[in-house]
Amino acid sequence: MLILGLDPSLSSTGWGVIRAEGARISHIANGQVKTDPAAPLPERLAALQAGLAEVIAAHRPTRAAAEEIFVNKNPQSTLKLAQARGCVLAACGMAGLAVNEHAARLVKKAVTGTGGAEKVQVAAMVKVLLPGVQIAGSDAADALAVAIADAHLSPRS
| Identified catalytic residue from 21, 36, 54, 67 | 67
The residue annotated as part of the active site, out of 7, 43, 68, 150, is 7
Query: Catalytic: 142?
Result: no
Instruction: For the chain, count helices (H), then strands (E).
Output: 5, 5
Contacts of 108 (CB under 8 A, 6+ apart): 114, 115, 116, 117, 121, 122, 145
Query: What does 97-128 look like in DSSP terms, one character per residue?
Result: --EEEE-HHHHHHHHHS-TT--HHHHHHHHHH
**150 vs 141: CA distance, rounded Å:** 14
Active site residue 150: no
Buried-exposed string 2-41: b where 16+ CB fall within 10 A, e elsewhere: bbbbbbbbbebbbbbbbbbeeeebebbbbbbbbbeeeeee
Our answer to whether residue 67 is catalytic in this structure is yes
| From 36, 101, 139, 142, the catalytic residue | 139
59 within 8 A of 28, measured Cβ to Cβ? yes
As annotated, the active-site residues are 7, 67, 139
